[in-house]
Amino acid sequence: MNLPAVDWVPLLPVLAVTLTALAVLIADLFLTGPDRDALAWLSVLGLVVTAGVSAILWGHPARTLGNSFVIDNYAVFFDLLFCAASLLSTLMAVDYLTTTSVRAGEYYALVLFATAGMMTMAAAADLIVIFLGLEVMSIAVYVLAGVWRQDVRSNEAALKYFLLGAFATGFLLFGIALVYGVTATTRLDAIATHLARHGEQARPMLMLGIAFLIVGFGFKVAAVPFHVWTPDVYEGAPTSVTALMAVGVKAAAFAAFARVFLESLAATSGDWNNVLWWLAAATMTVGNVLAIAQSNIKRMLAYSSIAHAGYLLVAMVAGGRAGGSALLFYLLAYAATNLGAFGVVIALARVGEPNESIDRYAGLGFRRPLLAMAMAAFMLSLAGVPPLVGFAGKFYVFRAAVDNGYVGLAVIGVLNSVVSAYYYIWIIVTMYMREGELDPPSLATRPYLAATIGIAFAATVVLGVFPALGFALAHGGFSSLG
């Protein structure tokens, strides 16, 4: 049996974050009390090193493991995004974990293992490797959702996520099996070659396989009608975990989704593009309409996340370099804004008082003006108000849709953005125009959380004022596909 030669260079980012996770687990055995804060710094150091290694590989594409794993600019872009999201999720959890009974070592190690799974999904050039990365990420996030064992809501969130996630994974695996049955391969480049030559053969089975793949990916990106798990899991999971799920898991799913459909299955786009069109329209509309009725900030952000999955699907429908680049930039914009918003949610919480009701934000603009200013910026960015990064993200997505002839879908997206402004601006109205009694703890006593919110706020503003910086990176990343 001849085993494929292994080039270790493309694997360095995944190896770096995995070794960091193992180091955190070992260090956790020997650290006690306040010394456990060092685990957070070890995690941060590992993520910074991983990001540095990934950045060095930009512009140096390479394949390994029998061409089933690729490190191209596309994978590097997502590696940097995952490292940034995990780093901020780690920082916002340092003070948060002190108010819960969650063991820091377990938490940080699971975040790092989840990051390794995300990076594997983004770099996978084989359907089986995508599945392996998905399972590494999913199992870690299932545990993270229920890591607060004494909290009933956390246990419920983990159970719902696990059961529905396992069900959706079955669809994904069946889809992979059907595609393999048609093409006799699971490698993405070989699938693309086969479909370009023999796309009309075994068509019913191929379309059924593609349909199952859409169901599997649709669950992970929280697209309608596969979104039912999202509000309950987002509400029940520890807030720092919810932030990682909203940003990291969604980005990883879209990374694999786009690589498979926009690169490998591009020859059959005429068959599945209409399905994604209706999914995008339904996801935007259902997410925004249901968000209006929410009184819990985490549930509102959950439905907001569903709506933003619809905007991202618009970019996939548009396709091409413009659509793909818009997809990557929107994920960057969405990550910065949502991580900051969930940081503010954590900032309002006290021991035994999550303060997740939107009514609890009343008067925040007078009691904590800087915190309220940051939250206002995040809400306006999610609504797509210039000059914040959310506006630039939606502009690129809708422009790509219009340029590729999907004017109707772009109009639906714009109308949904108008609807979403209601519940985003309601948060701002509550903070500045209503009296309240909540006096949240000062961020001066929680420097890690303050740093997280500050970094997210700076990214939201800077990338909004100078969107070309982020779009050039996104364009360079997506252009490396194919």
The predicted structure's pLDDT at residue 49: 95
Walk along the chain (482 residues) in steps of 10 and give the mean pLDDT of each run: 73 94 90 76 93 92 87 94 93 80 82 95 93 93 85 83 88 92 88 78 81 92 88 88 92 93 85 91 94 91 93 92 93 94 88 78 87 93 92 94 93 94 92 81 82 94 92 90 70
| Helix, strand, or coil (residue 393) | helix
Through-space distance between the first and last CA atoms of the chain, rounded to whole angstroms: 31
The owner of tokens 């680049």 is 325
How far is 438 from 366, CA to CA, in rounded Å? 11
How far is 365 from 476, CA to CA, in rounded Å? 40
- What the block records as the tokens of 268 is 């059959």
| Among the listed residues 86, 56, 95, 88, the one whose alpha carbon sits nearest the alpha carbon of residue 73 | 56
The predicted structure's pLDDT at residue 250: 93
The predicted structure's pLDDT at residue 154: 81
- What the block records as the tokens of 203 is 């068509």
The owner of tokens 């061409």 is 67
Q: How far is CA 444 from the centre of its chain?
A: 29
How far is 469 from 230, CA to CA, in rounded Å? 32
- Please list, in sequence order, all residues whose beta carbon lies within 8 angstroms of the beta carbon of residue 127, skipping any fewer than 6 positions away: 176, 179, 180, 186, 187, 188, 191, 260
The predicted structure's pLDDT at residue 100: 72
Confidence (pTM): 0.94
